Structure 1
Amino acid sequence: MVKKLVGIDVGGTSVKFAIVSLTGEIEQKWTIKTNIADAGSHIVPDIAKSLNNKLLELAIEKDNIVGIGMGTPGSINYTNGTVVNAFNLNWTTVQPVSATLTELTGLPVYLDNDANVAALGEGWQGAGDGESEVVFVTLGTGVGGGVITNGKIVRGIAGAGGEIGHVTVERDGIACTCGKKGCLETIASATGVLNVARQQAPSSKANSTLRDDLLLNNSVSAKAVFDAAKAYDPFAQEVVAYVAQSLGFALSHIGNLLNPSRIVIGGGVSAAGDVLIEPVRDEFEKNVFSTVKQSTKIAVATLGNDAGVIGAASLVLAEQN
């Protein structure tokens, strides 16, 4: 039988699995619920049980599985295969994930941060077009990122490489959960869009239903802001312009420093589409070195929820080469 890869993407509500070919096609995929009870002690055994059962069901011999790649939240020690501080998994102490999963499945396990494996996925099979120099930025509840250079994840000395969300874009800006102020995450995440809207609403002179709703109820969604901007609401356009300016400015630093072939933007906020992406491109191009402007392109992620499992699977190949 042809050799295959296993990709696993662990989230706070579900665990996604995929059997992936050596060329990156998903052959089978399924999910299980994440059981975070009892300090998350059921998660890895549940993963092993589900995978073992699926391989039996599909009549796939373990000798034909090259390895398991896995992405999880939290602080990852790639060398030791451990995770700590993955709070949405209830993993507050060091978890020997790789060793435990290897023991329960008999397969080698390669572990990394979920944003890093999503970067690998988009780089390999998504908007990165298979290029070896790709930066992935995910705009969700927070802002995450992964840097791929020469086809390998950049982890840094302590695993904090690619923390794009904590690039400072406003020196005395909004307080971030990391303890700093003015991080990109405080502006360009879904939460950040609301931060900007709340901050600008009292002083804005725009005639805007969205602004009136915000001042009255102090509550509006990021999607509502982008939808209103698409409908030419002037206050929403002010908010989106500020978010795009901050994001494009941060990405220009990444472009000048790394000159990747692609900077791929993903996550829920990226679903806003051209109303966000076009002004981000404009700000990026305004602030990069001319060679970078010509060679580094801003792209929107294409894999959606499959980026994590495809990237996790590719981790096996990346680390064995």
Structure 2
Amino acid sequence: MDKKLIGIDLGGTTIKFAILTEKGEIQQKWSFETNILDDGSHIVPDIVQSINHHLSLYGMEPEQFIGIGMGSPGTVDLNEGTVTGAYNLNWKTLQEVKKVVEKETKIAFAIDNDANVAALGERWKGAGENDKEVAFITLGTGVGGGLVSNGNLLHGLGAAGEIGHMVVQPKGYLCTCGNHGCLETYASATGVVRVARDLAEEFAGDSKLKRMLDDGQEITSKIVFDLAKEDDLLGKMVVDRVCYYLGLACGNIGNLLNPSYIVIGGGVSAAGEFLLSRVEKYFLEFAFPTVRKSTQLKLAQLGNEAGVIGAASLALRFK
């Protein structure tokens, strides 16, 4: 009988689960809200309880699984299976995730950073087409990423793949990391709004986006992109500025790693080809000639499922 995988995508608001085949096909999935009360002390027990409950529900035994893989925010110790510094989970101290999950479920457990895991998902079953050389950028509240080379995630000494903290504008916007001009400050959902506010101050022409900002209306990155698609002059300027920085970052990633694909995902990427074609224009400007011909920019394909699929793939090491 073919053994299964369990993938877990641990987020600050929701924990998503899936049972998958060895080939990465999702067979069952469920989720529940993350309880971050009491310093996040309920999270791991809730995960264990949910797994055991669902295995019982489906009439399954631990022996039927190759392993459990999980993506988590924060700094992950891959060998120890611990997490520190996951502040959106209220985890202020070291969390012994692997030890607890393995003891309570009797299934082998592997864990990695959530952005890395999403990269693995897109690489395995999404836009990365199971290629050995794939870079992944996720544009959400922040900008995350993961780098796969020779089929393996790059970890460096623990902080490889921090694409959001590539400096794209020296002396630029102050980032939460303490540096100035990080990609995250321009290309995240909040970064797009920040760029819009800044450009609106100097803008004198006719623009719905300018009027909305001047009126103090709430705007989002989606509103900016939607207006740009409708030919709003300020909207187009904002999108162009954001895509310039993204293209610069992609050019640098391409020149450094020369992957087959640079995959762009996350909420902001919902702008689709409108975003991709503009990023590509600047990527071609900054990429080394050989890289221009060999590295392709693509939109992510898995959406919210990238996390659970990539997490499950971590467990393949237990085969």
**TM superposition shift of 1:152:** 1.0
Match of 2:9, SS state, is: strand
Mapping for residues 214-229 of structure 1, pairs under 5 Å: 214-217=213-216, 219-229=218-228
The aligned counterpart of 1:200 is 199
Percent of paired sites with the same residue: 53
The aligned counterpart of 2:162 is 163
The aligned counterpart of 2:122 is 122
- Cα deviations by residue, 1:157-199 (Å, 9 ceiling, x for unpaired): 1x11100000000001110000000000000000000110111
C-alpha distance in 2 between matches for 1:128 and 1:290: 22
Letter in 2 for 1:30: W
Kindly indicate whether the alpha-carbon contact (under 8 Å) linking 2:108 and 2:318 is maintained by their aligned counterparts in 1: no
The aligned counterpart of 2:312 is 313
C-alpha distance in 1 between matches for 2:218 and 2:303: 27
C-alpha distance in 1 between matches for 2:94 and 2:287: 41
Answering whether residue 85 of structure 2 is matched by residue 85 of structure 1, we say yes
Mapping for residues 235-246 of structure 1, pairs under 5 Å: 235-246=234-245
The aligned counterpart of 1:134 is 134
Structure 1 range deviating more: 29-38 or 111-120: 29-38
Moved over 2 A (4+): none
Kindly indicate whether the alpha-carbon contact (under 8 Å) linking 1:142 and 1:190 is maintained by their aligned counterparts in 2: yes
The aligned counterpart of 2:53 is 53
TM-score, normalisation: structure 2: 0.98
Letter in 1 for 2:112: D
Kindly indicate whether the alpha-carbon contact (under 8 Å) linking 2:264 and 2:297 is maintained by their aligned counterparts in 1: yes
Match of 2:277, SS state, is: helix
Kindly indicate whether the alpha-carbon contact (under 8 Å) linking 1:139 and 1:266 is maintained by their aligned counterparts in 2: yes
Kindly indicate whether the alpha-carbon contact (under 8 Å) linking 1:198 and 1:218 is maintained by their aligned counterparts in 2: no
Match of 1:276, SS state, is: helix
C-alpha distance in 1 between matches for 2:195 and 2:71: 31
**TM superposition shift of 1:57:** 1.5
C-alpha distance in 2 between matches for 1:233 and 1:227: 9
RMSD: 1.1
Letter in 1 for 2:232: D
**TM superposition shift of 1:3:** 0.6
C-alpha distance in 2 between matches for 1:9 and 1:123: 16
The aligned counterpart of 2:39 is 39
The aligned counterpart of 1:62 is 62
Kindly indicate whether the alpha-carbon contact (under 8 Å) linking 2:209 and 2:232 is maintained by their aligned counterparts in 1: yes
C-alpha distance in 1 between matches for 2:33 and 2:208: 40
Unaligned runs of 5+ in 1: none
Kindly indicate whether the alpha-carbon contact (under 8 Å) linking 2:66 and 2:318 is maintained by their aligned counterparts in 1: no
C-alpha distance in 2 between matches for 1:262 and 1:95: 34
TM-score, normalisation: structure 1: 0.97
C-alpha distance in 2 between matches for 1:90 and 1:111: 18
Unaligned runs of 5+ in 2: none
Answering whether residue 60 of structure 2 is matched by residue 71 of structure 1, we say no
C-alpha distance in 2 between matches for 1:12 and 1:164: 21
**TM superposition shift of 1:320:** 4.2
Kindly indicate whether the alpha-carbon contact (under 8 Å) linking 1:229 and 1:275 is maintained by their aligned counterparts in 2: no
Match of 1:31, SS state, is: strand
C-alpha distance in 1 between matches for 2:293 and 2:141: 32
Kindly indicate whether the alpha-carbon contact (under 8 Å) linking 2:67 and 2:318 is maintained by their aligned counterparts in 1: no
C-alpha distance in 1 between matches for 2:29 and 2:191: 33
Structure 1 range deviating more: 243-252 or 197-206: 197-206
Match of 2:262, SS state, is: strand
The aligned counterpart of 2:110 is 110
